[in-house]
Amino acid sequence: MTISRDDLESSLRDIQDVVVTTEEEAKASAGLLIAGAAVVVVALVAYGIWRSRRRRIHIEVYQTS
């Protein structure tokens, strides 16, 4: 069995096409992944600030006459 140059070249072009389409899909989903990560970070920071404000000691002084 012999493999011709044309067969090898067509197989490599098929592999290259698959790699290119996979790369494009990865780039498209990377934007969504970054946006999702940013939302999670902002939510965690907001939750931390909210929680730290709840832990403060509140002292109320009432004056009786």
Residues 6-49 have pLDDT tens digits of: 999 999 999 999 999 999 989 888 988 999 999 999 999 999 98
Helix, strand, coil proportions of the chain in percent (round to 5)? 75, 0, 25
Q: What is the pLDDT of residue 38?
A: 97
- What are the distances in angstroms from CA 9 to CA 2, 14, 17, 26? 14, 9, 12, 26
Q: How many residues does the chain have?
A: 65
Q: Please tell me whether the overall predicted TM-score, pTM, comes out greater than 0.75 for this model.
A: no
Residue 16, token pair as written in the block: 């290259």
Q: What is the pLDDT of residue 50?
A: 85
